[in-house]
Structure 1
Amino acid sequence: MSALFPALLTASNKQALRFDGRALTYAELAATAGSLAERIEGAGRVAVWATPTLETAVGVVAALLAGVPAVPLNPRTGERELAHILKDSTPTAILAAPTDQLPPALAELTRIEVVVAGAADPTPERTLPQTDPESPALIVYTSGTTGPPKGAVLPRRAIATTLDALADVWGWTADDVLVHALPLFHVHGLILGILGPLRRGGTVRHLGKFSVDGVTRELSSGATMLFGVPTMYHRIAESLDTDRELTKALAGARLLVSGSAALPVHDHRRITAATGRAVIERYGMTETLMNTSVRVDGDPRPGTVGVPLPGVELRLADDSDGIGEIQVRGPNLFSGYLNRPDATAAAFTEDGWFRTGDMASLDADGYVRIVGRKATDLIKSGGYKIGAGEIENALLDHPGVREAAVTGEPDADLGERVVAWVVPTDRQSPPSEEELANHVAAQLAPHKRPRTVHYLDTLPRNDMGKIMKRALKSA
């Protein structure tokens, strides 16, 4: 059917997908997705109403089998942004579960219901198109910071390259059973979390909605890998002191992977101390898919995201003071932004490297330490380059700090001053501003101490658990 999923050709009775108790074998997935692929072949582009369900996974696989670019839609997207995505990507149809209630903005599209069959076609003899590795597979919209979201065109080549590189560094095989609860409109949850196991011929169990109990249950009953974001691992870490079954389940896992944002060092330490199992971090973004990772047989080294994946080249631009912008090139990169040749050109250097906008330093052995985004996390204070990430980790090492974010604000004397946004462990008795400043100065350096501390009940986060610092600046 498709070189992306060799296991579908065998149509075996091995379980491929399970969502909240509903499951499909490879034979059933081949039949169901293959039938849907025949219906949408030649459709141009199709949108997928990307709920965390079996229907979304089947719809995306069907589009890939048919050689039709799929546009995953976040069901929580607002009316204005959704209208922009539809106008920009011009899908001809929307794939959705029969029970999905779709917004009026989708009314003009042909609705194609994804009906998940429980029984396999015994002889799925179907001829589907052979697709060029450079042909678009997915169009995933990135969050707009200075304008509306841009559609990153991801070719089949980039998906296959990234998943095969991760198989190499993680020892990922058909024997692995992955559990996760990530959304399916993002590359982490969809490409790594659904397409990854299917490419390997393994199994994915999606929880539907994250819960510590769900993680415990699945890792205790055959799952070997867990994908999550820092918010999920923080909740796991906080449960370990009292939950022996969770501790045992994590200790028995082959691989724990965190991504989409930096996992605080103190959560790394709490999980490793309790379970003997280190969490591995990887680094990627929509336009590049995965760039680096800690190897399964390497040094986990909290605070780093490992080394470049096979085939990925990485360099730091303008790395004065040891900190520079990460630039990458390789077969994992996107083809460009849909309908935006200007934005595509601006995203690359003259010699062909993609500008990630992420700032980092490199350890002597090539491990990458990300300090934050160039636009929001690089603070230039008193002549120094300061990465917000290392200050956040230092703050999180203080017992009185539950959550922390760091930003820079204009300062007449320093250029920018370091500002901390803190959720205290005890809201009735938070650590003082002076205590936190001294704590950071002692751990890092005096010029990195927060000059201002704001105390909050919670930090604003997006669907992937990333802190929305632009919202903090306007708070």
Structure 2
Amino acid sequence: MTAHLNLKPHDVTLQERADGTVLMRSNLPLGSVARRTGDWLDHWAAETPDAVFLAERQGQGWREVTYAQALTHVRAIASHLLERDLGPSCPIMILSGNGVDHGLLTLAAQYVGIPTIPVAEQYSLIPAAHPRLSHAAALARPGLVFAADATPYAAALALDDFAGIETLSAAPGDSGATDLADLLVPSGADITAAAAAVGPETLAKILLTSGSTSEPKGVLTTHGMLTTNQAQIAACLPFLSSRAPRIVDWLPWNHTFGGSYNFNLMLANGGSLYVDDGKPAPGLFDRTVENLGLMSGTISFNVPVGFAQLVRALEKDTALRDTYFADLDMIFYAGASLPQDTWAALERLAMEAGGKLPLITTSWGLTETAPGCLISHQPAKGAGIVGVPMPGIEVKLVPDADMRCDVRVRGASITGGYLDNPEKTADAFDEEGFFITGDAMRLVDPNDANRGLRFDGRLSEDFKLTSGTWVRAANLRLDVLSALAPFAQDVVIAGEGRDDVRAMILPNRAAIAAQGWEISETAGILRCAGLEAELAQRLTTLAGSAAGSAGRVCAAIVLAEPASIAEGEATAKGNLNFPRFLSRRAALVARLFAPESPDVIHILH
């Protein structure tokens, strides 16, 4: 049913080495690669000047900026940026979230070789998270700071880290910040030479890693990394060039997926990016539903929890369903595996709406990989397969005795290292120059490499029980999350150095409230008889399918307090820092493993 997309089948080659390692490559041709991101803007401003490039909500409709308008604004802003002492050692730090002005400033800086460092807006808006912002400022040493609206960012801009640094804002108020509107009139500076000097090796942006295992590192991201990655995606998904893509997207631009993959996917293919100012979070998802009702996309990007919420909205609103699926070519999930019931519901709703299936797929990569490395670009029957290498990427698989492979990658879209951190840079690559990702994967079918690879957890999250048995915590966490949907927002797996595996559940309060169950909170634990009975039944069912103790959750508790960004338990992307989480909540971990604890949900086996 996806024949209308003219998808290319997987075509890869495996090279087995004498030491047991395996090299995996795509046989698809890469195609042409742009020199710099500004080439895309120049091209589409000439080819489709009146097509919408960027848009954001304004009143009951949208503030839309065409490609011709975008180029005019970008060149004007760039002329002013050149008059400031900015460059690779003095970048522009962007504090606020996704928006038209954020996008124009980013492209203006890239147009003349000035890198930006976008940071999570939570670092500025949550006072307790200001140390994270200070860490980023100390790392990047910015020469200009941007906040779309200076008022909500006033406390962050007042930090000593930004003393003496010019602030730029589209809504400066009485903050004293420079008004972005003043930069929309060309300064008179000639940007020709600076633009011509930008090439594949020019630094485009510095992206912070999530900080889920250590302090965030600054990933050096060049124009060549970004342009190569878009050529790789286009080679795998040729329908992108058959009509201009369009997305209504909330994924944050300080993150590589939203800011590099999605943003540049539109720019490289003459597409339109409508900024969704909602997200799959309490109090914000209704805004996403409103935005999706106003504009149909050809591609839908989201995380699995977002698609689960979307399915419920689509089932209740046929008008929304018809608008959502009207032009849809692809549903793309990331961040975790898509539960099979969500996958099936999306397919059913698509057929009810228009009688054709979009491609439901995913990709895999990291901040250090620009980000796409693997992609599943042929129809699959279910979730979990992250695909095959994109053209120009070499994947090195280092198997263990159980054929679980340590994944390493090499290619033009891979970073050369971290900002001012030679030690971490050296540690990140093996002796052949392959980037060590820390992820584990398996071939779906060892006899057919074209079936692709399946994600098999983060190597750093594995731990041993007292029996010496390894627990693949990342995989088990995904299984538990799927089994407990929609009542679990997230799960932390515990048990290192103990006799069995137990779980700490971060609840989805909205889903619990919808059941009408009565809840109470005591010393950090949420108690709810109806919820506990439901979770016990589901975990018992899951335990019945486990092959051994390493895959069996024996007990669980439901936590009252959400993960804290300020305390380092969670990143701005929502990823959990598991070591920090378990350390900060050591008392609750002790209660989880205490004999006969009344707070614990015990699982029958």
Aligned to 2:559: 456
Q: Which moved more, 1:417-426 or 1:190-199?
A: 417-426
Aligned to 2:306: 232
User: CA 1:54/1:372 → structure 2, altered by over 3 Å: closer, same or farther?
Assistant: same
Q: CA deviation at 1:59?
A: 0.8
**Which of the numbers 77, 80, 93 marks the counterpart of 1:47?**
93
Q: Does 1:439 align with 2:520?
A: no
Q: Does 1:3 align with 2:70?
A: no
- Give me the whole-angstrom Cα distance separating, in 2, the residues matched to 1:135 and 1:428: 58
Q: Deviations over 1:214-273 (max 9, x none)?
A: 456547644211111223212113334323233334433111112233333443233233
Task: Give yes or no for contact 2:297–2:324 (8 Å, CA) kept in 1.
Answer: no
Aligned to 2:20: none
The letter of the residue matching 1:208 is D
Aligned to 1:205: 274
1:51-450 matched pairs, under 5 angstroms: 51-77=97-123, 78-97=129-148, 99=150, 101-102=153-154, 103-105=157-159, 106-113=162-169, 115=180, 127=192, 128-145=195-212, 147-170=214-237, 171-173=239-241, 175-210=244-279, 211=285, 214-215=288-289, 217-218=291-292, 221-252=295-326, 253-276=328-351, 277=357, 279-288=360-369, 289-295=371-377, 297-299=378-380, 301-364=382-445, 365-366=448-449, 367-376=452-461, 378-381=462-465, 382-396=467-481, 398=483, 402-403=487-488, 405-413=491-499, 417-422=500-505, 423=507, 427-429=528-530, 430-431=532-533, 435-447=537-549, 448-450=551-553
- Give me the whole-angstrom Cα distance separating, in 2, the residues matched to 1:269 and 1:410: 36
Aligned to 2:72: 31
User: CA 1:104/1:451 → structure 2, altered by over 3 Å: closer, same or farther?
Assistant: same
Q: Secondary structure at the match of 2:362?
A: strand
- Give me the whole-angstrom Cα distance separating, in 2, the residues matched to 1:249 and 1:97: 31
Task: Give yes or no for contact 2:405–2:441 (8 Å, CA) kept in 1.
Answer: yes
- Give me the whole-angstrom Cα distance separating, in 2, the residues matched to 1:269 and 1:421: 28
Q: Which moved more, 1:156-165 or 1:275-284?
A: 275-284
Q: CA deviation at 1:4?
A: 4.4
The letter of the residue matching 1:183 is P
TM-score w.r.t. the length of structure 1 is 0.88
- Give me the whole-angstrom Cα distance separating, in 2, the residues matched to 1:436 and 1:82: 40
User: CA 1:304/1:120 → structure 2, altered by over 3 Å: closer, same or farther?
Assistant: farther
- Give me the whole-angstrom Cα distance separating, in 2, the residues matched to 1:67 and 1:301: 43
Q: Secondary structure at the match of 1:132?
A: coil
Q: Secondary structure at the match of 1:172?
A: helix
Structure of higher CA gyration radius: 2
Q: Secondary structure at the match of 1:88?
A: helix
Q: CA deviation at 1:97?
A: 3.0
Q: Secondary structure at the match of 1:451?
A: strand
The gaps in structure 1 that reach 5 residues or longer are none
Task: Give yes or no for contact 1:266–1:393 (8 Å, CA) kept in 2.
Answer: no
The letter of the residue matching 1:85 is A
The letter of the residue matching 1:320 is A
Q: CA deviation at 1:111?
A: 2.4
The letter of the residue matching 1:24 is V
Q: Secondary structure at the match of 1:375?
A: helix
The letter of the residue matching 1:251 is F
TM-score w.r.t. the length of structure 2 is 0.70
Q: CA deviation at 1:168?
A: 2.6
Q: Which moved more, 1:3-12 or 1:228-237?
A: 3-12
- Give me the whole-angstrom Cα distance separating, in 1, the residues matched to 2:209 and 2:426: 17
Structure having the higher helix fraction is 2
The letter of the residue matching 2:71 is A
Q: CA deviation at 1:9?
A: 4.6
- Give me the whole-angstrom Cα distance separating, in 2, the residues matched to 1:301 and 1:51: 33
Q: Secondary structure at the match of 2:258?
A: helix
The letter of the residue matching 1:58 is L
User: CA 1:125/1:396 → structure 2, altered by over 3 Å: closer, same or farther?
Assistant: same
- Give me the whole-angstrom Cα distance separating, in 1, the residues matched to 2:277 and 2:185: 24
Task: Give yes or no for contact 1:46–1:92 (8 Å, CA) kept in 2.
Answer: yes
Q: Secondary structure at the match of 1:336?
A: coil
Q: CA deviation at 1:30?
A: 0.3
- Give me the whole-angstrom Cα distance separating, in 1, the residues matched to 2:286 and 2:331: 14
The letter of the residue matching 1:88 is L
Question: How many pairs were matched up?
Answer: 468
The letter of the residue matching 2:229 is T
The letter of the residue matching 1:144 is G
Q: CA deviation at 1:362?
A: 2.0
- Give me the whole-angstrom Cα distance separating, in 2, the residues matched to 1:224 and 1:345: 41
Q: Which moved more, 1:159-168 or 1:335-344?
A: 159-168
Q: Deviations over 1:274-326 (max 9, x none)?
A: 3344632111211111111221x432531222222222222333433232322
Task: Give yes or no for contact 2:300–2:331 (8 Å, CA) kept in 1.
Answer: yes
User: CA 1:469/1:84 → structure 2, altered by over 3 Å: closer, same or farther?
Assistant: closer
- Give me the whole-angstrom Cα distance separating, in 2, the residues matched to 1:229 and 1:433: 23
- Give me the whole-angstrom Cα distance separating, in 2, the residues matched to 1:79 and 1:397: 34
Q: CA deviation at 1:410?
A: 2.2
Q: CA deviation at 1:112?
A: 3.5
Q: CA deviation at 1:61?
A: 0.6
Q: CA deviation at 1:27?
A: 0.9
The letter of the residue matching 1:152 is V
Q: CA deviation at 1:182?
A: 1.6
- Give me the whole-angstrom Cα distance separating, in 2, the residues matched to 1:216 and 1:322: 47
User: CA 1:243/1:387 → structure 2, altered by over 3 Å: closer, same or farther?
Assistant: farther
